[in-house]
């Protein structure tokens, strides 16, 4: 194995510590190594190998919780599927590298194309049936003041900062490649002139630009952080977040007692608060699918709605439930108060092979056998909702979204644009049985609070149940794996951030840069 491949693999091994949950802010420096290798590669095929070699250890470590968690719950078969996912993700990184090398040509032209292409491909990777945004570069800034720029540029913009600075750091090491050159000849300090010589006046210009950009982003983020903190209203609303800690397999197979579990927790928490001299909460939040088989709508749902009202008089409930819709069932969130059902949002972005399966009806006998092997009944496809929309809540509107949708920035953004003054994430992370998956999911969702400058209330079946303020700071949380409730304070906000207004343009601007690079490459070859 060549030293170049070893260097790419080593970068992939180190890179996961730069993303949640560890979030060490080193990603530009780590990515500079594979970026330099790709720019100095012998051609697109070589670039593909280097990009894929970086991706394999990166994704194998970053999402190692996936087979670990599901093997605990459903058996070891998921370990056999996991390599296929890693290979697919590695192919995406490899193709990105090969594309940049083909369009940018040898040397630093590849870096100029690679920086925007990487972010554009990240955006594409989050679209469609198999959308999977784990590993997006922008989350590497979550633990730093740089993250405070997310209310302007979003996670894609933060990722672009990472890729641009990585390319700038790599630039001095990239000279014109030539067949047969050794490692030392391929990576030179300074900007190579004719014959690969170094232009001393520009020596180190790339790293200086990168350090200047990072320092400016860090300083500006710290200033923005203090400004937002100074503008925060004292929390004046009270919410009760319920963590039922119900076994996920039992829920899939039954679920009839879920309503009673969450209702009992609510009654006990409200009674305790009143006994301590407090008041009933303004808002009560139950997690994703807390109600599976108890009807909430119409005449049949009247007893359940009356029980909710009696458990927390005067409160508005935000309840995750299963709703019957044309074509099957929807993973829904209801807002309910004393007047009845105020609104319902049906989950729009569904989990592939978790909430919908290709050709389920045509291959029903096959699926039935697979589900039975894991101790599950025959499941049904979930019907996606029409799209994000705010729901009427306590006083104002709420942006209530479900589980997986928290890692797709477009969902909360569109809800806030529709008038939501607080974000509510109902989720069931019990499927993340072991490993970093649940914490990654929670941390990625925290960035939505910065992008929208909204408080986020999060109720999770077995955790992480928490409240996060508009700067991304966790104000309170429950430990995982306990059946409990959390009383939190929050405030409503009505301001609209630049990201909410124009954030949907960021991927298109990056895509335009990629298209311009392609056009320039074609023009040069005519």
Q: Which residue, among 495, 486, 452, 494, has the nearest Cα to 238 in the 3D structure? A: 486
Strand duo 397-402 + 391-392: pairing: antiparallel
Question: What Å distances lie between residue 472 and 167, 282, 429, CA to CA?
Answer: 28, 23, 20
Pairing of strands 474-477, 397-402: unpaired
Residues 298 and 407 reside in one and the same domain? yes
| Active site (catalytic) residues | 288, 347, 403
Residue 373 lies in a domain: no
pLDDT given at position 51: 97
Q: In this structure, what CATH number is given to the domain that contains residue 414?
A: 3.60.110.10
Domain range for 13 is 3-230+504-525
Q: How far apart are the first and last CA of the chain?
A: 38
102 located within any domain: yes
Residues 317 and 415 in one domain: yes
Spatial strand order of the sheet with 391-392 comes to 391-392, 397-402, 420-427, 456-460, 466-468, 474-477
Compute the Cα dihedral for 361, 366, 369, 375 and give only its sign: negative
In a domain, 364, yes or no: no
In this structure, are 163 and 186 located in the same domain?
yes
Prediction pTM value: 0.90
Whether residues 158 and 188 fall in one domain: yes
Considering the domain architecture, whether residues 303 and 404 belong to the same structural domain is answered as yes
Residue 344 lies in a domain: yes
Tokens of 139: 């989350």
Task: State residue 504's pLDDT score.
Answer: 80
Are residues 406 and 438 both part of a single domain? Answer: yes
CA 55-56-62 angle, 5° bins: 80
- Digits of tens for pLDDT over the chain (526 positions)? 689 999 999 999 999 999 999 999 999 999 999 999 999 999 999 999 999 999 999 999 999 988 887 766 566 666 777 888 899 999 999 999 999 999 998 888 899 999 999 999 999 999 877 788 999 999 999 999 999 999 999 999 999 999 999 999 999 988 654 444 444 444 443 333 333 444 555 556 888 999 999 999 999 999 999 999 999 999 999 999 999 998 866 655 555 578 999 999 999 999 998 888 777 899 999 999 899 888 999 999 999 999 999 999 999 999 999 998 888 889 999 999 999 999 999 999 888 777 777 667 677 777 777 667 666 666 677 888 999 999 998 878 999 999 989 999 999 999 999 999 999 999 998 877 778 889 999 999 999 999 999 999 999 999 899 999 999 999 999 999 999 999 999 999 999 999 999 988 888 898 898 898 888 877 877 6
Whether residue 498 lies inside any domain: the answer is no
Closest to 163 in 3D by CA, of 513, 453, 522 = 513
Whether residues 225 and 85 fall in one domain: yes
- Centre a 10 Å sphere on the Cβ of residue 45 and count the other Cβ atoms it contains: 13
Are residues 62 and 181 both part of a single domain? yes
Cα dihedral 247, 251, 256, 262 in deg (nearest 10) = 50
In a domain, 217, yes or no: yes
Residue 360 placed within a domain: no
Query: Do 287 and 391 belong to one domain?
Result: yes
**What's the total number of domains in the chain?**
2
Whether residue 366 lies inside any domain: the answer is no
309 and 335 together in one domain: yes
Sheet holding 484-490, edge to edge: 340-346, 328-337, 316-325, 283-285, 237-243, 484-490
187 and 270 housed in the same domain: no
């Amino acid at each position: 194995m060549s030293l170049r491949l070893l260097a790419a693999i080593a970068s992939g091994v180190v890179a996961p510590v730069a993303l949640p949950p560890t979030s060490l802010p080193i990603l530009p420096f780590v990515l500079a190594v594979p970026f330099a290798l790709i720019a100095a590669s012998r051609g697109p095929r070589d670039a593909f190998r280097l990009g894929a070699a970086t991706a394999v250890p990166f994704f194998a470590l970053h999402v190692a919780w996936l087979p670990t968690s599901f093997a605990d719950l459903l058996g070891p078969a998921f370990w056999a599927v996991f390599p296929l996912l890693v290979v697919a993700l590695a192919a995406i990184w490899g193709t990105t590298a090969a594309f940049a090398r083909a369009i940018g040509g040898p040397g630093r032209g590849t870096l100029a194309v690679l920086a925007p292409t990487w972010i554009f491909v990240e955006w594409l990777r989050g679209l469609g049936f198999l959308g999977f945004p784990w590993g997006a570069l922008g989350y590497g800034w979550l633990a730093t003041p740089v993250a405070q720029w997310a209310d302007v540029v979003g996670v894609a913009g933060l990722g672009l900062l990472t890729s641009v600075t990585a390319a700038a750091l790599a630039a001095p090491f990239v000279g014109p490649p030539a067949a047969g050159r050794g490692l030392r000849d391929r990576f030179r300090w300074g900007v190579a002139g004719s014959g690969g010589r170094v232009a001393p006046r520009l020596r180190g210009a790339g790293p200086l630009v990168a350090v200047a950009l990072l320092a400016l982003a860090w300083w500006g983020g710290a200033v923005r952080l203090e400004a937002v903190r100074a503008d925060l209203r004292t929390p004046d609303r009270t919410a009760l977040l319920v963590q039922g800690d119900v076994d996920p397999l039992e829920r899939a197979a039954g679920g009839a007692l879920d309503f009673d579990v969450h209702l009992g927790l609510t009654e006990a928490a409200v009674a305790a608060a009143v006994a301590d001299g407090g008041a009933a909460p303004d808002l009560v939040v139950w997690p994703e699918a807390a109600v599976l088989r108890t009807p909430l709508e119409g005449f049949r749902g009247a007893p359940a709605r009356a029980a909710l009202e009696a458990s927390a008089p005067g409160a508005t409930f935000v309840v995750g439930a299963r709703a019957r819709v044309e074509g099957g069932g929807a993973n829904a969130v209801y807002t309910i108060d004393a007047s009845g059902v105020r609104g319902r949002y049906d989950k729009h972005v569904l989990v592939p092979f978790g909430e919908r399966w290709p050709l389920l009806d045509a291959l029903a006998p096959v699926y039935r056998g697979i589900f039975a092997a894991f101790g599950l009944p025959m499941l049904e496809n979930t019907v996606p909702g029409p799209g994000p929309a705010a729901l009427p809540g306590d006083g104002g509107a709420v942006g209530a979204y479900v589980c997986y949708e928290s890692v797709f920035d477009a969902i909360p953004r569109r809800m806030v644009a529709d008038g939501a003054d607080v974000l509510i994430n109902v989720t069931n992370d019990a499927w993340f049985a072991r490993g970093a998956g649940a914490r990654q999911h929670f941390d990625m969702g925290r960035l939505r609070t910065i992008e929208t400058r909204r408080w986020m209330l999060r109720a999770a079946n077995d955790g992480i149940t928490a409240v996060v303020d508009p700067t991304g700071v966790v104000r309170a949380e429950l430990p995982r794996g306990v059946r409990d409730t959390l009383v939190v304070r929050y405030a409503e906000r009505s301001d609209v951030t630049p990201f909410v207004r124009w954030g949907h343009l960021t991927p298109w601007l990056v895509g335009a840069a990629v298209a311009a690079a392609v056009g320039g490459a074609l023009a040069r070859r005519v």
